Chains A and B, each alone.
Chain A
Amino acid sequence: MTSQDHILVVDDDPDICTLVGDFLEKNGFKVSVAMDGKGLQDVLSNSTIDLIVLDLMLPDEDGLVLCRNLRSRSNIPVVILSAKGGEMDRIIGLEMGADDYLPKPFHPRELLARVKSVLRRSRAQPEDSLESEQNACYRFAGWTLDVPTRQLYSPSGDKIFLSGGEFSLIMVFLNHPNRVLPRDQLLTFAHGREIEPFDRTIDMQVSRLRRRLQDDPKSPSLIKTVRSVGYVFSARVERGDPIS
């Protein structure tokens, strides 16, 4: 944590805002609070925010849509704090681009630890490297990924939609081609969190990404499975200037 990291807490429950806001302030953070999606936009327009703690059930907007929109236009880390704590809820939250997901009820010290951890990891990547990565265009096996627009083009030129999670995952593969990536490392690189027992998030995302890339799951040529370890992205990757 740097001095006075600024955290935005978005939750429609005043007791949660008080709990999280007070606890983070006691631990050295500057805190702003928003009770809905509009409030979030207002704070973002007027302040520099280092991390957002986001509830999903807001009165005016779906937190997942907010999360996806945030991720498409900024790098501000997002920690989802939600009463929706099921496995699928967490997977969807991470796929929408959240950096971590903590179900309610929660212990404020655990939230504090996760906030610090996400901030630490978000800063582990040098800004110039991040900058150049985000202004690049990757070409592999006839496919093209234009990073600024997050647009994937098939070899025949069709536009292919990628979810936030799939985009994060393909970026990891494109930056580490022809290298075996263990599942836990993929999860950390793509989502900034550690793998949990029986966690199938990465396997499900790889499966979806293979479908997007029209890669035969029975005999994949691009994303190959390394049994009991993880996956390897098997292609020559070229990085150039963005299309847009």
Chain B
Amino acid sequence: MVEPDRISVVVDQDLESIMPGYMANRQNDLLQISKALQSGDFNSIQTIGHRMKGSGAGYGLVEVSDIGREMEVAAKVQNGDDIAKLAERLESYLQRIDIVYKEL
């Protein structure tokens, strides 16, 4: 039974050994985004967004790719408000996600 605020995501079981590292790297992204936002370093945020966009769906996390895509755009136009909202969305997603590994 999945709790109402939890998000269950099915991921290829071949990725099970590398998923914890990927999730930890996204937590690190949140820290880097927060620091970069404070210093106005939009280039770094654009790079983080670009990489999240490219890798998220490959790891089975389409939402990470979607957030990354929007983050990259927001950083390009230096929209700090949107970046802060997207960082909150990523944090919430990472807190609520339950990964189920299956043979795909």
Contact = CB atoms under 8 A, between A and B. Distances in A.
B59 A19 contact: yes
B80 interface: no
B14 A26 contact: yes
B58 A104 contact: yes
Interface residues of B, number: 20
Contacts of B17: 22
Contacts, number: 54
Given A15-B25, A19-B59, A105 B18 contact: no
Nearest to A57: B50
B51 A105 contact: no
A105 B57 contact: yes
B15 A83 contact: no
Interface in A1-20: 13-16, 18-19
B14 A105 contact: no
B27 interface: no
A18 B54 contact: no
B58 A18 contact: no
A19 B18 contact: yes
A177 interface: no
A106 interface: yes
A73 interface: no
Contacts of B51: 13, 15-16
A14 B55 CA distance: 10
Given A83-B50, A105-B65, A109-B104, A15 B15 contact: no
Given A15-B51, A109-B12, 14 more contacts: A13-B54, A13-B55, A15-B25, A15-B55, A16-B55, A18-B18, A18-B22, A22-B15, A22-B18, A23-B14, A104-B53, A105-B65, A107-B58, A108-B15
24 contacts: A13-B54, A14-B25, A15-B25, A15-B55, A16-B51, A16-B55, A16-B58, A18-B18, A18-B22, A19-B18, A19-B22, A19-B55, A22-B17, A26-B14, A83-B53, A83-B54, A104-B54, A104-B58, A105-B57, A105-B62, A105-B65, A106-B57, A108-B15, A109-B104
Interface of B: 12, 14-15, 17-18, 21-22, 25, 50-51, 53-59, 62, 65, 104
Interface of A: 13-16, 18-19, 22-23, 26, 83, 104-109
